Structure 1
Amino acid sequence: MTGMVFAFGPEAASLPRAVVGPTAIAFGTGISLPVYQLALLDAVPQARGTAASVSTFAMLLLNAVLASVFVPVAATSLGRLAVTSLGLLLLGITLFHVHRAGVARATPTPSLQPEVP
């Protein structure tokens, strides 16, 4: 949201303000990606190397598609870039919650009652 304020504010493209958004995104990505990578490796401990390779490939492929599709449209102005970034963020949050809801439905809840033979 801070990026939206900077993008549509006065002197949006002046140098100290123009680097705040990308710096915040890089900081957030740098903090969160190792946590996601460890969670993925813990999900499949018998194939950690494969999981790391597949996840890295998927991230590179997604970044290549996003860069080739969205950047020519979004990078025409700072405001459009901020709106596109916010839209992709909201899409990511929505997909995360959809995934969590699916996992919660698929995970059986343990019974508190002892099994009777």
Structure 2
Amino acid sequence: MMIFGLAPAIAPIVGGWILRLGSWESIFWFLSGYGTLLVIAVWVFLPETHPTHLRTPFTARALMAELVQVSRSGRFHRMAWSGILIFAAWFIYVGGAAIVVFDLFHKGSNDFWILFVPLIGGVVLGAWASRRTAGKIPDPTLISAGVVIALIGAVINVAVAHLGLPWVVLAPAVCSFGASLAYPSVQIALFDMFPRARGAAASGFTFGQLLVNSAVAVALVPLVDASSTTMAMACLMITLAAVSLWVWTLRADLSGS
């Protein structure tokens, strides 16, 4: 969850701090040093834990066979795209953070916290609530609760978008809370569909998430960044698409299709 929420949220804040200490080139020096340290840390502290006899052979044929198996599942696609879109709905504010903070909020490079503290607060609280309720509430119920909360937040977001701060950042935080509440259960459900191909399921889901988040930041944000209201409407439309896919998943499960 953190790769999609915390990292993109912290990055502009850290970038603002670095710009206060040096030129824009210093950001790239920081990234080079950080990347080097990360490679060393992963190499030293993260050994492979998956048992050897359970690993998929590292061949193109074996890997592609599992990916094809996952990609042919309609239930996987319905549930995966629901989880991807419920997250992408509020990620529009992360992808368009510079425009939101500079152009819509009329703030400076050190004010990204105004947007990200509520957003990531929602992510953290949602993840905490998901962990506390795991095993006590069935996964479909927990996912439904998260989807409904995200939808309520998206509707409120449209209603209060014209009011400015602080309302314009609180409603998206409700969306991020709902998405974070549902997200872990969506992941577990997807992985459980393919007990012997969990890696392929994880790869497919993660690839879709990264692809959609990139499309939101690069293609969608420039189309809806005219005002807080247009941003909120885009958030609502994506949320409605996620809700539709989740309802489709529930109906298909009930009918056994």
TM-score where L is the length of structure 2: 0.37
- Aligned pairs for 1:80-95 (under 5 A) are 80-95=230-245
For residue 164 of structure 2, the aligned residue among 1, 4, 13 is: 13
Counterpart of 1:57 in structure 2 is 207
- Kindly provide the amino acid, as one letter, of the partner of residue 13 in structure 1: G
Match of 1:39 among 189, 195, 199: 189
Q: So what's the TM-score if we normalise by structure 1?
A: 0.75
Percent sequence identity over matched residues? 30
How far the C-alpha of 1:42 sits from its partner, in A, is 0.7
Name the stretch that deviates more: 20-29 or 91-100.
Answer: 91-100
Q: Tell me if the contact between 2:157 and 2:232 (Cα under 8 Å) persists in the aligned partners.
A: yes
**Is 2:180 aligned against 1:26?**
no
1:4 aligns to what? 158
Cα deviation, residue 62, structure 1:
1.2
Q: Note the aligned Cα RMSD (angstroms).
A: 1.9
Per-residue CA distance 1:14-68 (angstroms, 9 max, x = gap)? 2x22210221122112111101000001111111122112211111111111222
Q: Deviations over 1:64-93 (max 9, x none)?
A: 112222111112201111111111111222
Distance (Å, rounded) in 2 between the aligned partners of 1:100 and 1:32: 14
How far did 1:102 drift?
4.5
User: Paired residue for 1:74?
Assistant: 224
Shift of 1:5: 1.8
Give distance in 2, aligned partners of 1:67 and 1:99.
Answer: 27
CA–CA distance in 2 between the matches of 1:99 and 1:65?
A: 24
Q: Give the AA of the match of 1:68.
A: V
| C-alpha displacement of 1:96 | 2.7
* Alpha-carbon separation, structure 1, partners of 2:186 and 2:194: 13
Aligned pairs, number: 103
